[in-house]
Structure formats: structure tokens, C-alpha cells
């Protein structure tokens, strides 16, 4: 039997928790599959000239066996995956993991396998998203007005931020990082790990710990490839995904405080919202969640709790 090549792609730097989890995935996969498989890792497709948004297509075509990427990038096939971008959906990581590892998470795995060219191997922690900008501190929705802010390619997120008075610009992170110093953007939103690892904090003095969206990243494999592999190899992939997910989530839980400690108070002013200030943001964007709750009452929200 010929050796199977498993090629995993990502888009982040060596210190990223995603990159570290991918390397652990490869170690476990090689351990479990032995000589039946050769693992290859492409850690940063941005450095090769690709956009992060090209990763699903690379997996679909078979150029990669798997990738990790924000759940919203797979909403074309499974619309409910985009709903994780709803604002203030989870109060903390414990609540998020309970949902991802429960009925809703399994339902979306099944739907992905049924309706797309992918197999959803795992849900990774993409962090709570926070605002950073170069203009002013953000403590209230009123402070958001008129700010041109880069966001992910999510119209759902854009709806929420328009309610805050922001001017969202949907752009791939590759282009944003290249243009961060230009007048096109005043700010952006990202988890702290990306704010620091992509160097955004060097351009944006003001960082607000808004936690307005909890990001879900999907570890997605090419379904046809997976189903063509012998059962022992499939089992090795599943074990590797589970062990990598355990590590990735543990790293994510510790990451926020680690990254905050790396910020220089002389260069960055960090705003920690009070409970009342946080509630003001949640109330301002509540109409977005209400509208999607009506449209996805049974397929998403009925399984959310």
C-alpha cells in the first residue's frame, strides 16, 4: 500500500496557538499512523502569497488535506456555521465549549459532512474578539461612531458594528496587515493573540477588551480524501484532532493574559469595560441576534443551550 500524504495548511506565525496545535496534530498523527502516512505542514500560506480565505478552496481541490480557519468561511456550505459570529453569543469559554461539544456541535458536524466537500474534524478556540484603533479609547457605543474598522469577511459582523456606528470594511487579514498603516483603516477587531502576533498593537494605541464575538475556528478535512483512507488512518486522524484540540484550547485559555503582559503601557492603553459598559454594547447590537434567531430557530438556536 502506498504512503498517504496528509498536508495541513494554516496562515499564522510560529508563536500562534493555532500553529503550535497544528504541529502537535502532526506529531500525534505520525505517532498513530506510523509508516502508513507522511505528514506535511504549510504553516503560513500568507507568506506564500495566498489569502487566508483561499484555504477552503485548497482543501476542496485536494491541494491540502485539511486546514483551520474561522467557521464563517464555511458558511457558504453550512450557513449555521456563520452564526457563531453573532455578538455576545457566549459569556465565557466554558459556555462555548459546552455548546461546541454538545448537540449543536454534533449537528453541524453532521450537516457539514452531508452538505459540503468537507469533514469537520474539530472546533478550535479562535478567541474573544476585541477592538483596537489608532484614534481614541472605546468605552461606549458612542465612541465607535465613524471609525473605519477592518473585520473578517462576515456581513453578519458588519451588521452588528453598523449598529454601533462603525464603518466596517470586510477584508482578508493578508491585505489588512499589508495596509494597516494606511488611511484606509482606523482600527480592527481580533483576539489578543492576533493583535500581538500580527503586530497590530504597534499601529493601534487603543485596545478595548470588548469580547463582542467569540471566534470559532474549524479544523476541516477534505471529505473525499478522509473517506478514501483505511480505517486505521481515519482513526489516527480523529485521535490527532482530539489531542490537538485539547492542547489548542488549553493554550487559548492562557493566551489572553500572556498577550496582555506583552503590551507596553507606554505604547498601548487597554480599556477594561465595566459590567454596565459591557451591557451597553450588548444592548446596542441585540436586534441582529433577534433577527437571526427568527430565521434559524430550529436548526441553530434550539440546540444552542
* pLDDT at residue number 2: 85
C-alpha distances out from residue 67 to 40, 42, 77, Å: 12, 9, 16
- For cell 471566534, the residue is 215
Residues 6+ apart with CB under 8 A from 188: 131, 132, 133, 149, 150, 151, 176, 180, 200, 204
Give residue-wise pLDDT tens across range 192-223. Answer: 999 998 999 999 999 999 999 999 999 999 99
Nearest to 280 by CA among 141, 130, 136, 90: 141
* pLDDT at residue number 1: 59
* pLDDT at residue number 73: 95
Domains in the chain, number: 1
Low-confidence spans in the chain with pLDDT less than 70: 1
Domain range for 279: 4-303
Nearest to 217 by CA among 69, 46, 49: 69
* pLDDT at residue number 305: 75
CATH of the domain at 135: 3.40.190.170
Q: By three-state DSSP, how is residue 62 classified? A: coil
Amino acid at each position: 500500500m502506498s504512503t498517504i500524504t496528509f498536508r495541513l495548511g494554516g496562515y499564522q506565525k510560529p508563536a500562534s496557538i493555532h500553529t503550535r496545535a497544528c504541529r502537535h496534530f502532526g506529531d500525534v498523527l505520525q505517532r498513530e499512523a506510523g509508516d502508513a502516512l507522511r505528514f506535511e505542514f504549510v504553516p503560513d500560506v500568507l507568506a506564500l502569497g495566498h489569502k487566508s480565505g483561499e484555504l477552503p478552496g485548497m482543501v476542496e481541490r485536494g491541494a491540502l488535506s485539511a486546514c483551520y480557519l474561522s467557521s464563517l468561511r464555511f458558511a457558504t456550505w453550512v450557513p449555521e456555521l456563520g452564526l457563531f459570529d453573532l455578538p455576545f453569543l457566549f459569556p465565557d469559554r466554558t459556555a462555548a465549549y459546552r455548546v461546541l461539544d454538545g448537540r449543536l456541535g454534533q449537528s453541524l458536524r453532521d450537516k457539514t459532512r452531508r452538505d459540503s466537500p468537507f469533514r469537520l474534524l474539530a472546533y478550535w478556540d479562535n478567541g474573544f474578539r476585541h477592538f483596537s484603533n489608532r484614534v481614541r479609547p472605546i468605552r461606549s457605543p458612542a465612541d465607535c461612531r465613524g471609525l473605519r474598522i477592518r473585520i473578517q469577511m462576515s456581513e453578519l459582523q458588519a451588521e452588528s458594528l453598523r449598529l454601533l456606528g462603525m464603518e466596517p470594511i470586510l477584508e482578508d487579514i493578508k491585505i489588512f496587515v499589508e495596509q494597516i498603516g494606511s488611511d484606509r483603516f482606523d482600527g480592527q477587531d481580533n483576539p489578543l493573540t492576533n493583535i500581538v502576533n500580527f503586530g497590530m498593537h504597534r499601529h493601534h494605541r487603543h485596545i478595548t477588551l470588548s469580547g463582542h464575538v467569540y471566534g470559532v475556528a474549524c479544523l476541516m478535512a477534505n471529505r473525499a480524501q478522509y473517506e478514501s483512507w483505511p480505517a486505521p488512518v481515519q482513526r489516527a486522524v480523529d485521535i490527532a484532532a482530539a489531542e490537538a484540540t485539547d492542547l489548542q484550547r488549553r493554550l487559548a485559555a492562557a493566551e489572553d493574559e500572556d498577550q496582555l503582559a506583552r503590551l507596553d503601557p507606554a505604547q498601548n492603553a487597554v480599556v477594561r469595560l465595566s459590567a454596565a459598559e459591557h451591557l451597553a454594547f450588548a444592548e446596542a447590537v441585540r436586534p441582529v441576534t433577534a433577527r437571526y434567531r427568527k430565521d434559524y430557530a430550529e436548526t441553530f438556536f434550539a440546540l444552542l443551550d
